Amino acid sequence: MKSPVPGASDIPLGNWVDRYVPADARPYFRLARLDRPIGTWLLLIPCWWGAALASGGWPDPVMIALFGVGAVVMRGAGCVVNDMADRDFDARVARTANRPLASGAIGLKGALAFLGLLLAIGFAVLIQFNAFAIWVGIASLPLVAVYPFMKRITYWPQAWLGLTFNWGALVGWAAVTGGLAAPAFILYAAGFFWTLGYDTIYAHQDKEDDLLVGVKSTALRLGKATRPWLFGFFAATVALLAAAGFAAGLAWPYYAGLAAGAAHLAWQAATVDPDDPKDCLKKFKSNRDFALIVFITVVAARVVG
């Protein structure tokens, strides 16, 4: 087992978890990544995209809040499943060796009980929506369950993450309309390519450790050719977002905002340093800003239109 390198852990210390959460509960908060919200944002905002695109004006604030709660607990549940599957790998990697399951701070029984609690809260949120949206949400569970194992069998686990993390675009649309239509599927496809881009950037942080422990990623598959592929992924994202807006009949503010979003993605692809983990993490986190730009401009277009 590789010994953790001081300062290499991805677990931030001295933050609100250490200050306000009882000591016995801290490993569970960290297992669910409650102290690192970027993953929650990236899971949540496609839900908001779908709901806003389907709305005739302002999206329902209660629905927006429900998606927020659901994203927190379901992202946490996904992290528990991921860390249960990866605990042996994580223990051999400096960045992840201090994670609660890899370090032994939480046992498998505790993790399973916590997973059950998170899933119960997520289901309680889901049943606030219409029956069709409930079934669309339930249909995502096989994607969530299988994702942690994809890095063992394919260099494209980021594609599976794209299918999983953007499912909320379909749920958001279904929650508003009670069905699915072409704009929702186009939006889902846009999110898929967006995730291919941002998670490839993220994966470059781990490429050396991934080689050591024998897992795969697009960062390893694309290597030095990553930059042109990023431009391709993000160009497909923007084109499909434009197509989704056109199919949904969005007004002109959407396309103005989308141009700003496209510039943001181009900045990421042009300036990211694949060999600098800190820069990769910075660019990865900036995708929350891109996603919010798209959401705000969808809402603006609906209100103006």
pLDDT for position 272:
98
Which domains, ranges and CATH numbers included, belong to the chain? 24-304 (1.10.357.140)
pLDDT for position 1:
33
Query: Three-state SS across the chain?
Result: CCCCCCCCCCCCCCCHHHHHCCHHHHHHHHHCCCCCCHHHHHHHHHHHHHHHHHCCCCCCHHHHHHHHHHHHHHHHHHHHHHHHHHHHHHCCCCCCCCCHHHHCCCCHHHHHHHHHHHHHHHHHHHCCCCHHHHHHHHCCHHHHHHHHHHCCCCCCHHHHHHHHHCHHHHHHHHHHHCCCCHHHHHHHHHHHHHHHHHHHHHHCCCHHHHHHHCCCCHHHHHHHHHHHHHHHHHHHHHHHHHHHHHHCCCCCHHHHHHHHHHHHHHHHHHHCCCCCHHHHHHHHHCHHHHHHHHHHHHHHHHHHC
User: Per-residue pLDDT tens for 230-289?
Assistant: 999 999 999 999 999 999 999 999 999 999 999 999 999 999 999 999 999 999 999 999
Q: Which residue has the tokens 């329902």?
A: 60
State pTM to two decimals: 0.92
pLDDT for position 126:
97
User: Per-residue pLDDT tens for 27-46?
Assistant: 999 999 999 999 999 999 99
Of 241, 283, 238, 286, the closest CA to residue 262 belongs to: 238
User: Per-residue pLDDT tens for 265-277?
Assistant: 999 999 999 999 9
pLDDT < 50 stretches in the chain: 1-7
- Dihedral class, residue 7 (left if φ above 0, else alpha if ψ from -120 to 50, else beta): left
Give residues with Cβ within 8 angstroms of 280, minimum separation 6.
201, 202, 204, 205, 272, 273, 274
pLDDT for position 211:
86
